Structure 1
Amino acid sequence: MSSSQRHLFSDYAERQSKQDSRGQVPLPNRGRRVRIVVSASILWTALIVGRLYQLQISEYHSWNGTAHKQHASTITLASERGAIYDRNGKILATSVPGGSVFVRPRQVRDKVNTAGRLSQLLDIPREDVLKKLESKSPFVWVQRQVPRPIALAVEKEELPGVGFLLESRRYYPYGSAASTLLGKVGTDGKGLSGLEAFYEGHLASDAHAAPVARDGVGKILHVTHELTETPRGKPLSLTIDAPLQLIMDEELEAGREKAQAKRAFAVMMNSVTGEILGLSQSPSPNFNLAKLKSRELLENHVMQLSFEPGSIMKPFVAALAIEHEVTHFHELINCENGAYRYGGHTINDVHPSAMLSTYNVVVHSSNVGMTKLGHRLGKERIYEGLRLFGFGENTGLPFPGEASGLLRDPKKWYPIDIATHSFGQGVAVTPLQVVRAISALANGGILPKVSLVYGEGSGDSKRVLSSKTAEMARRMLVGVVEEKGGTGSRARVPGVVIGGKTGTAQRPRDNGVGYEPGAYIASFVGFADGSSIGVDTPLTLLVVMDRPQAKVIDGGRAIYGGVASAPVFQRIMHRSLHFLSTQGSGYNSDSPRSSERELDSSDPLHSDGLNGRGQESLPERRGTGFRFVSYRG
């Protein structure tokens, strides 16, 4: 090799050495990196395969259940409550199948037309329906618990995206009759007021859930098509007599309209047993219809309100005066020609008199005479006696919010309070207290226990007057109706012994301070002895008109109980006695009265759901208990 060749070879070797030093990896190092990459890939693949095995095989049931819970759920539907019956087995409240209409907005093709049809069928504003149809939610309720015939009419339309679910709804065969006593049930099937609320645990059955499908964020997609049997609650039997209740409702409404009163209420009781036979108020809601316009319509005035009784209180104080021997039946009382100063105030009579017997003090309703009798008794005996008659405490009936009235401790009385308590001012009573107390005067001196539900009374009956004093008080009450000049003459029923007492009182302001100008409460309470016409059920009835606005009724001032309320008492009692006389002892016949709604007992699951009067029909057999879904996709 020449020197020049050796020089070239030396340069080439030197360049190769420099390249190796600048990063060329020797062959053994490259092989190690390849092995690392391959090993990592194998390990990663093994992990993925293992996890898939765990999810798809080992933990399949667990994850499948979680997914099912996310997409399959339930909604609570109104279950079938126990029926409420009157004393003779007539249905006052029951559960019938009702349809709840829903939409899936995304499947509604013509929203405007669909909104129009649903608006007509469901009787709700078209704009409200359209708003629901334009909702972004995949499932929207349009209206819950509509009458079954309406739900079937919706189904018949075959509107795309519209369906309905049959669920139990509460139905009241007699409409508004005793509605505030029975109470209202919400769309969730729970009692909101009245006996429906108080006996929730008795009437209600276990909640029923319908399966639904939900999307990933929990919104309802649709209700599954299933047929399920539902439980039913226990029944409840009342002492109410449906035909008598209907008579009371009709006459009370007519009387309120004639007197132009803001509201009116009445209660009828068996004078001996204390069983409540009817309990009415006007206006009264019909819970079969749509939503209430005012929550006030849920209130039961007979149970929950108190009022100043006015002259209704006079026979009780007079009876106490006779019982305590501070007067006697025929004693003449100087009534001061209708004006008498007492406790720094002047007591006036509407009909001035000079001398009246104790009997006629009540018959002619003298405030002056009652003030003098009250003065002889003294505040302690007045208070204790009125408490003995049940005033100042509720009757203990199973009804939410029963009022107690107001009877103040005599230690807090002013001198004038002896007078005002003697003629029914400065004291507040409830309708039930008045009816119960008058019953004691009518039946011989026994204050009856009050009952509304069979098997449940409110305490025991007790004697509050001697039979001799009670007979004198009874004669006073008969004189109020039968005597010439008696304030209750418009309550007479031909051929029947009627006794009672009128009451006229100023109405206190709602805030309890002073009296409302020009506002009065006109009332009449009395009893009927129908034995002369074959009726062996002694009846006591109270009728109250709250704020009558009419000036004159049949020639008399409408503010007076003898003018506004006594005629209503007369019509109710006359019709009730006639009805009872045709039913015989016990009056257990199911024959409908002329005013009683004719109820079709056909099964609503297999009929058009309507009877001859356009009322929803009732199931003949109880416990049909099925719900199903109809849906148009």
Structure 2
Amino acid sequence: MRLQGALYPWRFRIVLLLLALMVGAIGWRIVDLQVVDQDFLQGQGDARSLRHIPIPAHRGLITDRNGEPLAVSTPVTTLWGNPRELQAVRERWAELARAIGQEPEALSERLQQQAGREFTYLVRGLTPEQGQQVLELKIPGVYAQEEFRRFYPAGEVAAHVVGFTDIDDRGREGMELAYDEWLAGVPGKRQVIKDRRGRLIKDVQVTQNAKPGKALALSIDLRLQYLAHSELRSVVQEFGAKAASLVMIDVKTGEILAMANQPTYNPNNRRNLQPAAMRNRAMIDVFEPGSTIKPFSIAAALGTGKYKPESVVDTSPGSMRIGRYTIRDVSRGGLLTLTGILMKSSNVGVSKIALDIGAEPVYSVLQQAGFGQDTGLGFPGERVGNLPNHRRWHDAETASLAYGYGLSVTAVQLAHAYALLGNDGVNVPLSLLRLDQPQKGVQVIDRHISSTVLQMLRAVVEEDGGGGARARVPGYHVGGKSGTAKKITGTGGYTEDAYRSFFAGVAPLANPRIAAVVVVDEPSKGGYYGGLVAAPVFGKVMARALRLMNVTPDNLPQVKTVQAAAGKGGRI
């Protein structure tokens, strides 16, 4: 019989040709990969063994206006482990736990739960020396990586302004959060070779250098910050207050020189941190400013031209009724000039003025002074308060606005407004950063009016009968106004026994340099009036601040000259 294949010899040849083509294609691919296109196999090999390890970037330095460090980055060692490898050396877990300062039972439980994983943090933030001591134990599966940790030299003194970073060195509060992108550097890359278990075989090269973050110079003067912090702590303890805030502003530049709050916290140790202590109350807490608003109501009255400094208002009998509301003064009233109204802090007097000129002039001055508006600082969580603008103003709303009720402000806004008075009525934007060039301001209150109001505020502090005598500063003329306001309850009414005490002022009046505001929340013993509680804090801080800044005194006593009689021969 003849074979079937012999009947179709061309089929056999086709199969041989196909096999030859396949062998040729495979041979060419081998030559191509080994000789022509070597990058492919090399890339596949690198993908299985070559790794890139991030190089941490140094976070930018934060300093005060004089270059004193407020936040610095220090190198630390983080230890991590490979739980799979560590399973083989269980007998050394207790030794590892003691070395990293952890309970052996807790570490053992964690490693058993993560037995199938290849990465877990053992401990973070060790000093390089501590990390090296652990590595010298040569426990298989324990590795180290370099990181940076933030340290705050000023501690609790500047905590609310500077803020802090989390364990991954990202800003979480304060200026650390507001300028996180500016401060954070760009991590670098290091190329290494690892085996299939992730163990380092060879450090090849640095492929990208780490770029450190940019430095940040704040407007805060650490010397003044320490003063504010110390005095606030004292007043809280002395009067049993719930909290307190102090803000100091450079009148000419708008730079915030100090911003302190009580209670505060230590950003270097946040284990027992209470959320309430983290509040930057000077920028977050809003309140009705009470009598500290009256100078602006007087400025509005002067601006209408209907009133002069010597204009007299009858405040008798020390109270007045508007609808179902009764407005009362602490004093019994009488005939008072505009200066007298501020000195006596007459609610009746300023209410009568406001009802005479209308609410619009008062609202306009307060609005131009920055109340109810964003300060432009960009601080996380900052509140703008509330300045009501009614379509139709009722008499009660007009009167309450004039003596500081019915609106809400922050301590920073109030200090900014007083800085405006001290700067000849020019509104200069606020800044928490040190300025190399002065900012351009806007004239919002007539220069003559602001000067006149400042002299009225001088009488409040320096003349007998004023409510700000405890804010006097030896050697300097000071203008300011105290205030006391009941706190609002959760239902919208006012408490009977909880107050806020204020004092706001400017110094020295010959050439104003600093505006400051003190707010004391709920003083519970020894009194609660602003002139008693807050004014002394203002006086103590302002006295030392003016001397530290080498501000020329403008209220020194006159030196009497005595001419001695000439003796015989014309000699003295």
Instruction: Please state which band the TM-score falls in when normalised by the shorter chain.
Output: 0.7 to 0.9
Tell me which of 498, 506, 509 is aligned to 1:527: 506
| Contact map agreement 1:379 1:410 (CA 8 A) in 2 | no
Name the residue aligned to 2:182: 202
Say if 1:49 and 1:388 are closer, same or farther in 2 by CA, change over 3 A. Answer: closer
Residue 62 of structure 1 pairs with residue 37 of structure 2: no
| 1:191 aligned partner, one-letter code | G
Say if 1:341 and 1:284 are closer, same or farther in 2 by CA, change over 3 A. Answer: same
Say if 1:68 and 1:433 are closer, same or farther in 2 by CA, change over 3 A. Answer: same
SS in 2 for 1:542: strand
Tell me which of 522, 545, 548 is aligned to 2:520: 545
Name the residue aligned to 2:81: 103
| 1:526 aligned partner, one-letter code | G
Offset of residue 271 of structure 1: 1.8
| 1:340 aligned partner, one-letter code | M
| Contact map agreement 2:283 2:382 (CA 8 A) in 1 | yes
1:355-370 aligned within 5 A: 355-370=335-350
Offset of residue 480 of structure 1: 2.4
Offset of residue 240 of structure 1: 1.8
| Contact map agreement 2:191 2:205 (CA 8 A) in 1 | no
Q: Quick one: distance in 1 between partners of 2:139 and 2:265?
A: 33
| Contact map agreement 2:262 2:277 (CA 8 A) in 1 | no
| Contact map agreement 1:451 1:458 (CA 8 A) in 2 | no
Q: Deviations over 1:173-200 (max 9, x none)?
A: 2223333322333344433333333333
Name the residue aligned to 2:314: 334
Q: Quick one: distance in 1 between partners of 2:216 and 2:122?
A: 33
Say if 1:71 and 1:489 are closer, same or farther in 2 by CA, change over 3 A. Answer: farther
Q: Quick one: distance in 2 between partners of 1:459 and 1:291?
A: 41
Identical columns (%): 31
Q: Quick one: distance in 2 between partners of 1:198 and 1:489?
A: 39
Q: Quick one: distance in 2 between partners of 1:69 and 1:256?
A: 63
Residue 274 of structure 1 pairs with residue 254 of structure 2: yes
Residue 193 of structure 1 pairs with residue 173 of structure 2: yes
Tell me which of 72, 77, 82 is aligned to 1:94: 72
Name the residue aligned to 1:574: 543
* More deviation, 274-283/69-78: 69-78
| 1:551 aligned partner, one-letter code | K
**TM-score, scaled relative to structure 1:** 0.73
1:488-527 aligned within 5 A: 488-509=468-489, 513-515=492-494, 518-527=497-506
Residue 323 of structure 1 pairs with residue 294 of structure 2: no
| 2:482 aligned partner, one-letter code | T
Say if 1:225 and 1:294 are closer, same or farther in 2 by CA, change over 3 A. Answer: farther
Offset of residue 442 of structure 1: 2.6
Q: Quick one: distance in 1 between partners of 2:414 and 2:67?
A: 28
Q: Deviations over 1:244-279 (max 9, x none)?
A: 122222222332333333332221111222221112
Larger Rg belongs to: 1
| Stretches of structure 2 lacking an aligned partner (at least 5 in a row) | 5-11, 554-572
Q: Quick one: distance in 1 between partners of 2:227 and 2:397?
A: 39
Name the residue aligned to 2:330: 350
Name the residue aligned to 1:564: 533
1:142-291 aligned within 5 A: 142-146=122-126, 151=131, 161-209=141-189, 229-290=209-270
Q: Quick one: distance in 2 between partners of 1:300 and 1:237?
A: 19
**TM-score, scaled relative to structure 2:** 0.81
Q: Deviations over 1:192-249 (max 9, x none)?
A: 3333333334333223345678887xx9666976896522122222222121122222
Name the residue aligned to 1:16: none
| Contact map agreement 1:84 1:236 (CA 8 A) in 2 | yes
| 1:119 aligned partner, one-letter code | G
Offset of residue 407 of structure 1: 0.7
Say if 1:95 and 1:382 are closer, same or farther in 2 by CA, change over 3 A. Answer: same
Say if 1:387 and 1:65 are closer, same or farther in 2 by CA, change over 3 A. Answer: same
Residue 438 of structure 1 pairs with residue 418 of structure 2: yes
Q: Quick one: distance in 2 between partners of 1:515 and 1:128?
A: 52
Offset of residue 314 of structure 1: 1.0
Q: Quick one: distance in 2 between partners of 1:184 and 1:410?
A: 41
| Contact map agreement 1:493 1:574 (CA 8 A) in 2 | yes
| 1:386 aligned partner, one-letter code | L
Name the residue aligned to 1:623: none
| Stretches of structure 1 lacking an aligned partner (at least 5 in a row) | 1-25, 30-35, 586-633
Q: Quick one: distance in 1 between partners of 2:517 and 2:310?
A: 28
SS in 2 for 1:417: helix
Count residues in correspondence.
Answer: 539
Q: Deviations over 1:456-494 (max 9, x none)?
A: 889731223333322321122222222334322222222
* More deviation, 373-382/484-493: 484-493
| Contact map agreement 1:238 1:452 (CA 8 A) in 2 | yes
1:459-478 aligned within 5 A: 460-478=440-458
Q: Quick one: distance in 1 between partners of 2:79 and 2:375?
A: 44
| Contact map agreement 1:267 1:543 (CA 8 A) in 2 | yes
SS in 2 for 1:65: helix
Q: Quick one: distance in 2 between partners of 1:457 and 1:130?
A: 60
| 2:351 aligned partner, one-letter code | T
Name the residue aligned to 2:97: 115
Offset of residue 168 of structure 1: 2.6
Say if 1:259 and 1:51 are closer, same or farther in 2 by CA, change over 3 A. Answer: farther
Q: Quick one: distance in 1 between partners of 2:368 and 2:125?
A: 48
Offset of residue 393 of structure 1: 1.1
Offset of residue 446 of structure 1: 2.5
Q: Quick one: distance in 2 between partners of 1:223 and 1:190?
A: 31
The alignment yields a C-alpha RMSD, in angstroms, of 4.0
Name the residue aligned to 1:619: none
Q: Deviations over 1:258-310 (max 9, x none)?
A: 33333322211112222211122223333333467355655433333322111
Say if 1:375 and 1:132 are closer, same or farther in 2 by CA, change over 3 A. Answer: same
| 1:245 aligned partner, one-letter code | Q
SS in 2 for 1:258: helix
| Contact map agreement 2:454 2:509 (CA 8 A) in 1 | no
Tell me which of 389, 396, 402 is aligned to 2:382: 402
Q: Quick one: distance in 2 between partners of 1:168 and 1:223?
A: 25
Q: Quick one: distance in 2 between partners of 1:27 and 1:517?
A: 123
| 1:575 aligned partner, one-letter code | R
Q: Quick one: distance in 2 between partners of 1:457 and 1:414?
A: 45
Q: Quick one: distance in 2 between partners of 1:207 and 1:373?
A: 63
Say if 1:307 and 1:296 are closer, same or farther in 2 by CA, change over 3 A. Answer: same
Offset of residue 580 of structure 1: 2.9
| Contact map agreement 1:115 1:133 (CA 8 A) in 2 | no
